[in-house]
């Protein structure tokens, strides 16, 4: 079982994750397993980022804590290869744009 990490974020942190991800992703050889997903909670007005194991270096920078794998409903791919959907959430049905 892979360990995921999560961190509640503000808007500037979400943008910072996107900025920092790309060079790390490229340096690692663009692995499909390197991804950060996010979920917005309307009740708390908070975004939580979920870092895959392959994004652990980035998770450490944001002091993300270990957590269970997030459920596939209500999350989006913040950064990473689109193939990560099928790797981590193979049963998730694609939703129309």
Instruction: Give the tens place of pLDDT for each residue, 22-64.
Output: 999 999 999 999 999 999 888 888 889 999 999 999 999 999 9
Domain that holds residue 27: 4-88
With respect to residue 93, please indicate whether it lies within any of the assigned structural domains: no
C-alpha separations of 88 from 25, 37, 46, 94 in Å: 17, 10, 23, 13
Instruction: Label residue 96 by pLDDT band (50, 70, 90).
Output: very low
The residues, any chain, with a CB within 8 Å of residue 36's CB and separated by 6 or more, are 17, 21, 49, 50, 51, 52, 55, 58, 77, 78, 79, 80
Q: Report how many domains make up the chain.
A: 1
With respect to residue 96, please indicate whether it lies within any of the assigned structural domains: no
Q: Could you say which DSSP state residue 72 is in?
A: S
């Amino acid at each position: 079982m892979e360990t995921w990490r999560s961190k509640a974020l503000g808007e500037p942190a979400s943008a910072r994750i996107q900025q920092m991800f790309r060079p790390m992703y490229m340096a690692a050889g663009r692995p499909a397993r390197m991804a950060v997903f996010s979920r917005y909670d309307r009740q708390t007005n908070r975004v939580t980022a979920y870092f895959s194991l392959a994004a652990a270096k980035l998770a450490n920078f944001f002091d993300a804590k270990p957590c269970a794998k997030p459920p596939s409903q209500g999350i989006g791919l913040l950064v990473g290869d689109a193939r990560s959907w099928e790797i981590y959430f193979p049963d998730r049905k694609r939703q129309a744009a």
